[in-house]
Amino acid sequence: MDELIAIFKECIIDDWGWALVAIAGNFAFALRFFVQWICSERKKKSYLPISFWVFSLIGSLILGIYAIHRREFMVLLSGLLATPIYVRNLILMRKENGDTKN
């Protein structure tokens, strides 16, 4: 029973400010799928709008900041590895479209 209590105590959030940062990062990252879904439904085809990549970048950066604060290297690595891909896609889309409206 003591082990179960110790595990539960480790799971309790001790810093709500940073927990909210992590939640915001996850929310931004998850929001990209809803945006993509809505845009695809409107166009009646699979479509990745610029906002998909923007939300991906924002979520990744926020979670990276959280990982740095927590000193969690693997979270930082997994969150930031794709960041150059998000940036590159934004650059390519901007060049291709000549605008940023999506």
Q: What is the pLDDT of residues 57-98, one digit of tens each?
A: 999 999 999 999 888 888 888 878 889 999 999 999 988 877
Tell me the CB-side half-sphere exposure of residue 82, using CA atoms within 13 A: 15
- Whether 13 shows a pLDDT value over 70: the answer reads no
Question: Please, what is the Cα angle at 79 between 76 and 84, to 5 degrees?
Answer: 115
What pLDDT, on a 0 to 100 scale, did the predictor assign at position 101? Answer: 55
Q: What is the pLDDT of residues 36-65, one digit of tens each?
A: 999 999 999 999 899 999 999 999 999 999
What pLDDT, on a 0 to 100 scale, did the predictor assign at position 7? Answer: 67
Residue that wins the pLDDT comparison between 16 and 93: 93
